[in-house]
Structure 1
Amino acid sequence: MIEIDRITKTYGDSTAVDGVTMTAETGTITVIVGTSGSGKTTLLRMINRLEEPSSGEVRINGESTRATKPHLLRRRIGYAIQGHGLFPHHTVGRNIGAVPQLMGWKKDRIRARVDELLSLFSMEPDAFRDRYPAELSGGQQQRVGVARALASRPDLLLMDEPFGALDPIIRARAQDDLRRIQRRLGSTILLVTHDMEEAIRLGDRVAVMDGGRLVQHATPAEIIAQPATPLVADMVGDVERPLRLLSLIPLSELLEEGTAPGEAMPAEASLRDALAACLWSGRSAVPVTVDGVPSGRVTFEAIRARAELHA
């Protein structure tokens, strides 16, 4: 658990972060979203003491971060940034193994961890371990950057705009990768973004910053349905609100008996995905599978009715 307790950061007469208090539960993704200058990156950097708080405290599993020397603290906390920040003259294996090496891991343990993470990110270890960053695509470089942040099995992973430099298709895949791996490893992640779409897609909870202050900290559904301030409402977008809510609801919630033509969708897919499939193909329903087994359908009318509840 990460507890942020009345954290403030001032620079002379300017206040970058103003008395922020919030808790990130173990094994969850908390996304901090806000416009440029809202204080979100400064807040993130105070957690691993890249910036020292002017006042307030951060506690990780009940222990104040001030109780640990900054360089030792950072070895316990993974950190991934936009543009990946890989060492260009080191191989993928050396990049991923950098922090474990600093922590004194044995070579065979480091190699095993490198191969484990590459496999987890769907990158064949024998094909990628000895490559250099320049030989990778942008999406592959970003995967390696996240793998490096996870290498030492940190208590916490901090991510600052990690997917901002990727094109939309690769970015969506990287987000899916992160969610899949977070669920598998049970990692606790705090991620900064300026993109509300990304916050809603990734976050178990979303923290909205404005002018250095935390203006709302809630589940994605609450952020969409009950924005606390006009800024939050603007970031969500009134027109997009029903569609954003549909993206949070799995097909399993509207599953009914019956069949439908066309390619089936898994029960965990979202109503927004099913709506897009219906509109694209002109179908009135989509077939649904549970664990690969045909289990019913979801109709266009049921999806539309659910959307109208939130319009």
Structure 2
Amino acid sequence: MGELQSLLESHGVMLVFLNVLAEQAGLPVPAVPMLLVAGALGMREGGPELGAVLAAVILACLIADTAWYFAGKRLGQPMLRTICRVSISPDSCIRQTQSLYLRVGPRSLVFAKLLPGAGALSTAMAGMTATPFPLFLFYDALGALVWAGGALLIGVVFTDFVEVILRAFSTYGPMAVTVVAAAFAAFVAWKFVRRVRLLRRTRRVPRMSVGELEERRLGDRFPLVLDVRSEVAERIPGALAVDLNAPLDLLSAHPVTTEIVVYCACPNEVSAAILAERLKSAGYANTWALAGGFDEWKRLHGVAPHTASGPEAAAALAPRVKGPGPLL
């Protein structure tokens, strides 16, 4: 850690720029610790100039986030599915991110970097929803300023505490690094085990293929179709949008023999399977999660999945059953 202090004192702005650029690009290299140290060292003579550090952070964020913006604009929903598939976060991250961005719009970029896992997904959503590029740049730069400015300010305020940590790392370098690495590895392992257990549990929920759903819709056994995604413009015709935690007594008008198909837009149909699991426990035995979700239904109809935002999304909303909030 002594080497980090020396490097920051001599090449602080460039190191912070590269660290933030790597983190915002998606690499597992947290930038906040370096920002805290830069804030503390910025109060010393010979330390990095805080204004230059802040400008470097904003530039790095704009470069990385612009790439996410155009990736979202070009690739759309499949890219979000890929991000969530490789993430250690629950598979409901697509639904939650869509819901946040479609409720708040580009203003969500101001605080997205403060929420774990929401930064890249929110910038991708900006591209997917065709947010004007100048507006995106404005709110993204403001968000970078809030995020980096807060970290630098904490480093400045707690300069003495940060210096104590730096001295401890210098004295107990290998041991301290081992402890931090072990704690991080334990956290990742815990998140991974939780996800594996969730996937194993939800795989037991039966799936209905899109072809089978279409056969029922075209026949005389039209099932009740539930959409557990966020406030998006498009959905399967006749589907009822519900919150994942909506009280089940809202379905009391439907007999327990009703055939119910639940769909989402998340990898492994996790959100849909969770609601289907609840419905089965409540006595709705003829309940399925839709295999492949909304994207598979769109592919069957020969249209690439996409989403809309703002007034377009609000105008197209079907009646929505409100619940107390997301489960995951």
TM-score, with length taken from structure 2:
0.29
Decide which structure has greater strand share.
1
TM-score, with length taken from structure 1:
0.31
Answer with 1 or 2: which has the greater Rg.
Answer: 2
Decide which structure has greater helix share.
2
